[in-house]
Amino acid sequence: MKTRQFAITMVLAGSVFSVPALGQPQDESGLASLDANSDGVISRQEAANAQVKVFHRLDGNSDGVLGADELKASQPQPDADADRRVKRARAKALDQWFSNLDTDAGGTISLAEYQAGMTPYFDRLDTNGDGVIDGRELKSAYGSDRNDSR
Ligand SMILES: [Ca+2]
Ligand SMILES: [Ca+2]
Ligand SMILES: [Ca+2]
């Protein structure tokens, strides 16, 4: 189901787990890189710290805000043979993601807007609501989009 797939792409885009590539899912190996204190789970603080890093990586001209062009520049070039509809849908998803985060509609995303926009993604991944994301939650989020390891 396409919609679901894009919903997950959005989760990837919005989450700190897809640095900074839309549609390039990382598997649960992403956990280790985010789990700064190696307790096996990602806390809100760890996610927030990672978001700051991602934000600065995305901020190509280092002016402290993200422009749509910076976001686009961070995306991998689509395969030449990729379906045109897929490319268009991905571009649209990117635009939508951008405008969702740009809550003051100023045309740029500040760090505060970015982090505010990320919170729902964290909550969505934290399916049991215990305030941390564990490997199983991460896996089930990605497992629904990918069929490997089973
Ligand atoms: Ca941790
Ligand atoms: Ca910038
Ligand atoms: Ca949890």
Instruction: Calculate how far, in angstroms, residue 150's C-alpha sits from the geometric centre of ligand 1.
Output: 26
Instruction: Calculate how far, in angstroms, residue 101's C-alpha sits from the geometric centre of ligand 1.
Output: 26
Instruction: Calculate how far, in angstroms, residue 62's C-alpha sits from the geometric centre of ligand 2.
Output: 5
User: Is 50 exceeded by the pLDDT of residue 40?
Assistant: yes
Instruction: Calculate how far, in angstroms, residue 23's C-alpha sits from the geometric centre of ligand 1.
Output: 25
Residues in the 5 Å CB sphere of ion ligand 2: 59, 61, 63
pLDDT grade for 49, boundaries at 50, 70 and 90: confident
User: Is 60 exceeded by the pLDDT of residue 19?
Assistant: no
Residues 48-54, mean pLDDT to the nearest whole number? 84
Q: What residues form DSSP beta bridges with 108?
A: 67
What pLDDT is stored for residue 7 in this prediction?
Answer: 43
Q: Domain segments of the chain: what residues?
A: 2-143
User: Is 80 exceeded by the pLDDT of residue 114?
Assistant: yes
CATH architecture for segment(s) 2-143: Orthogonal Bundle (1.10)
Question: Which residue's entry shows tokens 């990605």?
Answer: 142
Residues 106-123, mean pLDDT to the nearest whole number? 89
Give residue-wise pLDDT tens across range 67-107: 999 888 877 666 777 788 877 887 888 888 888 889 999 99
- Give the dihedral of Cα atoms 80, 141, 131, 135; nearest 10 deg: -100
Other C-beta atoms lying within 10 Å of the C-beta of residue 36: 13
Helices then strands, each counted (H, E), the chain: 7, 4
Instruction: Calculate how far, in angstroms, residue 112's C-alpha sits from the geometric centre of ligand 2.
Output: 14
Which of 11-15, 41-45, 110-114, 140-144 is predicted with the least confidence, judged by mean pLDDT?
11-15
